[in-house]
Amino acid sequence: MSESTRSRTNNSETIVHEEIINLIDSPELREHLLHNPQLLSGDHYMQIVGGAPVEITRKRELLGRLVAGGCNSSDDTPYWHYRQICIDYIDDCLDALKAVDGNRKVLLISEISFVDDEVGSAITHGPFPVASWQAALTAMRTYADKWSGMTDLSSSYWMIELFNLANDPSCSYPYDGFLQPDYTYYANASGEIQYICREEEGECGEVLDCIVGGIFGPWFKGAYVDLPTPYKKGDILEIDCRPWAPGPCYCLVANSKLDCLYPDGDGRIRCGSIPYGSCFAGWAHTNLMLSPVFRARKATQPLPEEYAALQAIGLDRIDNLLEACTDNKEEEPGWLDIYRHRAC
């Protein structure tokens, strides 16, 4: 590769890398990574694209530019090939959506809303059957136009499930004889798809692969990203992941891995993981597609009264509280699930 070609390639890679970092809403994390790009690998850029709350075709476009950069780069890492696989995955999911005909294939659309920041506050409207993706878009936009003046749709999102009525309902674990969706799409209130999941091939199609967090991975609550962050032990973070979770919430950073402490609805201090999304009361009941890492920011204002106990925790108490919580994790199945994923 000539010097001029290498220079142009490096410049285009720098531009797309900065565009990807700017998908992060967290001001401290965004500035940290823009000023320290050497901390990021190809996998990190994949995680940001997959996990960012942006329209799925924007993700595809960025992945395409990463593929082009990888093909022309002297870097021998395999990420450029993996990015092409992700592009094919997105195309497959979107092509399936366009092929819905209202005959054998139908869509069921549900609105998920968080009415407040209390545990268990999510409510579901629907599901509503529609015969095509265009009909779904029209319905979602009509719904948003009607209700946007009367309610706060910033705490609402759409779950769109694609069912193939020709599938065998007896092979539908864990749905107990009912059909399960071939594809699931998650869109904001205006119908902009940001995350997608597809049933994997195999016996009964039991595993979901998702464009979320690390791009591909088995379905679990909490979209994981593993980014180098500027936060330190003792920082109190404000996190607002709406519409994918109730918010805002606050948690205390416990260590460099971003394990954290947070108050539960019963007033107890519990422990969790910010990258995995287990950092607020009721997280286990939330299909959180967006990792809180994208929205975390240092709290600068006085915390709400219900977080007084969190704010009173000194640095000298953090390790003991985290250790006590970890020792008792057998009592909290959700906590065990998170640690099983972390061990994989």
Taking the domains of the chain in order of start, what are their residue ranges?
A: 3-97, 99-211, 236-343
Binning pLDDT at 50, 70 and 90, where does residue 220 land? very low
- Distance, in Å, from the CA atom of 66 to the CA atom of 46, rounded to the nearest integer, reads 9
Binning pLDDT at 50, 70 and 90, where does residue 160 land? very high
Predicted local distance difference test score (pLDDT) of residue 217:
44
List 125's β-bridge partners, or say none: 111
Q: What is the separation of C-alpha 289 from the centre of its chain, rounded to a whole number of angstroms?
A: 3
> With the C-alpha atoms ordered 147, 148, 150, 153, is the resulting torsion angle positive or negative?
positive
- From the list 20, 116, 59, 32, the residue with the least C-alpha distance to 297 is 32
Whether the predicted pLDDT of 337 surpasses 90: no
User: Tell me, what DSSP letter sits at residue 52?
Assistant: S
- From the list 296, 303, 209, 230, the residue with the least C-alpha distance to 263 is 303
- Distance, in Å, from the CA atom of 159 to the CA atom of 175, rounded to the nearest integer, reads 17
H/E stretch holding 156 reads: strand 156-164
- Distance, in Å, from the CA atom of 122 to the CA atom of 138, rounded to the nearest integer, reads 24
Average pLDDT over residues 286-300: 88
Question: For 181-210, what is each residue's pLDDT tens digit?
Answer: 889 999 999 899 999 887 654 444 444 455
Give 225 or 121, the one with higher predicted confidence.
225
Binning pLDDT at 50, 70 and 90, where does residue 5 land? very low
Mean pLDDT lowest for which of 33-37, 41-45, 55-59?
41-45
Whether the predicted pLDDT of 341 surpasses 70: no
Q: What are phi and psi of 14, to 5 degrees?
A: -60, -40
- From the list 186, 177, 183, 173, the residue with the least C-alpha distance to 53 is 186
- Distance, in Å, from the CA atom of 226 to the CA atom of 244, rounded to the nearest integer, reads 19
Contact between residue 197 and residue 272 where contact means Cβ atoms under 8 Å apart: no
Contact between residue 121 and residue 115 where contact means Cβ atoms under 8 Å apart: yes
- What residue spans of the chain are helical by DSSP H? 3-21, 27-35, 42-51, 56-71, 79-98, 133-147, 308-311, 315-327, 333-343
CB within 8 Å of 266: residues ≥ 6 apart:
none
Whether the predicted pLDDT of 120 surpasses 70: no
Contact between residue 297 and residue 303 where contact means Cβ atoms under 8 Å apart: no
Predicted local distance difference test score (pLDDT) of residue 55:
94
Predicted local distance difference test score (pLDDT) of residue 213:
44
Three-class SS of 195-255: EEEEECCCHHHCCEEEECCCCCCECCCCCCCCCCCCCCCCCEEEECCCCCCCCCEEEEECC
What is each CA distance from 92 to 88, 108, 329, in whole angstroms? 6, 19, 40
Share of the chain residues as helix, strand and coil, in percent rounded to the nearest 5: 40, 20, 40
Across the chain, what does the average pLDDT equal?
80
